[in-house]
Amino acid sequence: MNNNSSNHDCSSNSNSTSSLVNSNSAGGRVADRRDLGSHFLGLARLGAAWAPGPVDEAEESPTELNTINSSGGFLVVSTDKLSVKYTGVNLHGHDVGVVQGNRPAPVRRFAYYFEIYVKDAGVKGQIGIGFTSENFKMRRQPGWEPNSCGYHGDDGFLYRGQGKGEPFGPTYTSGDKVGAGINYATQEFFFTKNNTVVGTVYKDMKGPLFPTVSVHSQNEEIDVNFGQKPFAFDIKAYEVQERMRQQATIEKISLPPNISYGIVRSYLLHYGYEDTLSSFDMASKSTIPPISLDQENGFDEQEILYALNQRKTLRQLIQNGEIDAAFSKLRDWYPQVIQDEKSATCFLLHCQKFIELVRVGALEEAIKYGRVELSRFFDMASFKDLVQDCVSLMAYEYPKESFAGYLLEESQREVVADTVNAMILATNPSAKDFQGCLHSYLERLLRQLTACCLERRSLNGDQGEAFHLHRVLHNSNTRC
């Protein structure tokens, strides 16, 4: 391996300030090692920061036509700004009556869609529907100029900024309902006629896109529906279908055999769920066909086998709220983990002890304990928030219902148990890197998944739905 390609290698001659695990004697931590447990401080207050569910970023949608930036002279927009009529007599290509929506299409969603109803196709039926950029020349059909795209009624052609169209869908005329949409997941425009998709085309335009309609011959008249009325096209069903299509593509990807099995097993090992693990192993011996994880499969379990039984015992104690007992076991087994009284691990354990006292209503004892063990953390920036939350529990008759009530959840005990678990893994003299102590394989894979989805969305100009693992897990359909 390239020596300077990774700063997480355990190389004895490293002079960097990077994270190193190299404990060769009990309590003998490398001096430049940061406090590993501080990783869990963020998780400990996650309960406080977490909103009930991820909220979709609100974006305003177009609601009416923009009467200021339209090609005046040739068209009349109704007073409700939802209908357009061509009033002139067209002489050439620059006489188009074109008008945009008052806002660009919102992007942080799966798809955007709007519709027109052709009231009167007029003399020539030269109606257009599509999307244009902000500085579109308001004398031309959408699609005739660069950075625009339009589906035209008289020839059914699609125009994409070339002036020359391509055969696309059927023509449309009086009485038809025609729609234009953007599918942000596939980065495509799609058009509909009378509730059926007539075609899709890759969206090669960047930046804000305005829903745009145009009329170009005498008496042409259309109504625009920005969603103020039900659409003729079932956009909800379309979304469901598109999601399923994407899901089907993903499901076709093949995985190495038994990969999920191996990841689950390593998860149980990592967090010290020893009883689950033995049942799991027992059962997998009798499955048909029996599951075997070969070395060639890549799983390296040596590191997470370390101290399995002790880690399990400590987890149980902490999850039962027996913090004193956990401290005492740690003193016996891994004194180095709690050696530094100002470490995140000690801090989290002391907080939990305090929380347990509050839980059983032993407030006086809690106060005493807090004065001895928590007061020193008040002026340490990274600990301040959590310690304040802890102390504030005492101010409420029903602490569970207070803003700091999250501290009394089971998940809080689990964070502390996970911290101790990671710290013990880090005492393993043959531990290769920090990531392995802090994060299970499963967590690393899920973080990579989330980071990839976020990065991809950001490179797409924040278009499409945001990825929330939590939401994916609670929906029956996974999505990105």
The answer to whether the beta carbons of residues 117 and 206 sit under 8 Å apart is no
* Largest interatomic CA distance in the chain: 94
Contact 174, 118 (CB under 8 A): yes
Tell me which of 68, 289, 290, 309 binds other proteins, using CB under 8 A.
Answer: 289
Query: Tokens 């052609």 — which residue?
Result: 157
386 binds other proteins (CB under 8 A): no
75 φ/ψ angles, rounded to the nearest 5 degrees: -140, 160
319 binds other proteins (CB under 8 A): yes
Nearer to other proteins, 5 or 24 (CB): 5
**Please, are residues 174 and 120 in contact by the beta-carbon 8 Å criterion?**
yes
Among residues 87, 194, 297, 313, the one that binds other proteins under rule CB under 8 A: 297
List the beta bridge partners of residue 65: 101
Residue 48 binds other proteins (CB under 8 A): no
Cα separation, 82 vs 80, in Å, equals: 5
Q: What is the DSSP string of 179-217?
A: EEEEETTTTEEEEEETTEEEEEEE----S-EEEEEEE-S
Q: Which is nearer to other proteins, 167 or 256 (CB)?
A: 256
By CB under 8 A, tell whether 83 contacts other proteins: no
- Each residue 116-145 as x (binds other proteins by CB under 8 A) or -, in order, gives ------------------------------
Residues 232-251 that bind other proteins (CB under 8 A): 249-251
Amino acid identity of residue 380, one-letter, is M
List 67, 276, 313, 402, residue binding other proteins (CB under 8 A): 276
Assess 459 for contact with other proteins (CB under 8 A). yes
If the CB atoms of residues 380 and 454 are measured against other proteins, the closer one turns out to be 454
The CB-of-468 to other proteins minimum distance in angstroms stands at 10
Q: How many CB atoms lie within 10 A of CB 23?
A: 17
Q: What is the CA radius of gyration of the chain?
A: 31
From 55, 68, 91, 282, residue interacting with other proteins (rule: CB under 8 A): 282
**162 interacts with other proteins by CB under 8 A:** no
> Whole-number minimum distance, CB 415 to other proteins, in Å?
7
Task: Please give the size of the binding site for other proteins, defined by CB under 8 A.
Answer: 75
Looking at 375-478, list the stretches that DSSP marks H as alpha helix, in order from N- to C-terminal side.
381-392, 410-425, 434-438, 441-459, 469-474
Query: Rounded to whole angstroms, what are the CA distances from 27 to 48, 224, 447?
Result: 33, 73, 31
CA 42 – CA 38 distance, rounded (Å): 8
181 - beta bridge partners?
Answer: 113, 190
Does 280 help bind other proteins (rule: CB under 8 A)?
yes
- Say whether residue 441 binds other proteins (CB under 8 A): yes
Return the residue of 17, 27, 34, 46 that touches other proteins, per CB under 8 A: 46
Side-chain-side CA neighbours of 83 within 13 Å: the count stands at 14
CB of 253 to other proteins, least distance (A): 4
d(CA 202, CA 210): 17
The neighbour count for residue 305, using CB atoms within 10 Å, is 11
Instruction: Work out whether 341 is an interface residue with other proteins (CB under 8 A).
Output: no
- Answer for which of 85, 177, 315, 350 binds other proteins (CB under 8 A) is 315
183-222 residues in contact with other proteins (CB under 8 A) are none
Residue 447 interacts with other proteins (CB under 8 A): yes or no: yes
Per rule CB under 8 A, is residue 300 in the interface with other proteins?
yes
Nearest distance from C-beta of residue 328 to other proteins, angstroms: 21
Which phi and psi (to 5°) does residue 117 adopt? -115, 125
CB 142 within 8 A of CB 136: yes
Q: Give the C-alpha separation, 340 to 376, whole Å.
A: 13
Q: Is 342 in the site for other proteins (CB under 8 A)?
A: no
C-alpha 49/C-alpha 41 separation (Å) is 12
Does position 473 bind other proteins by CB under 8 A?
A: yes
Q: Which of 245, 360, 456, 461 is the binder for other proteins (CB under 8 A)?
A: 456
Rounded Cα gap, residues 205 and 215, in angstroms: 23
Contact between 298 and other proteins per CB under 8 A: yes
Residue 56 in the binding site for other proteins (CB under 8 A): no
> Closest approach of Cβ 450 to other proteins, in Å?
5
Q: Which two tokens stand for residue 298?
A: 């890549």
Q: Which stretch binds other proteins (CB under 8 A): 171-179, 276-284, 379-387, 395-403?
A: 276-284
273 binds other proteins (CB under 8 A): yes
Segment lying near other proteins (by CB under 8 A), choices 28-36, 329-337, 347-355, 434-442? 434-442
Cα 476 from Cα 184, distance rounded (Å): 21
Is residue 314 a contact residue for other proteins (CB under 8 A)? no
The answer to whether 283 contacts other proteins (rule: CB under 8 A) is yes
Binding mask 393-432 for other proteins (x = CB under 8 A): -----------------xx--xx--x--------------
Q: With binding defined as CB under 8 A, does residue 10 bind other proteins?
A: no
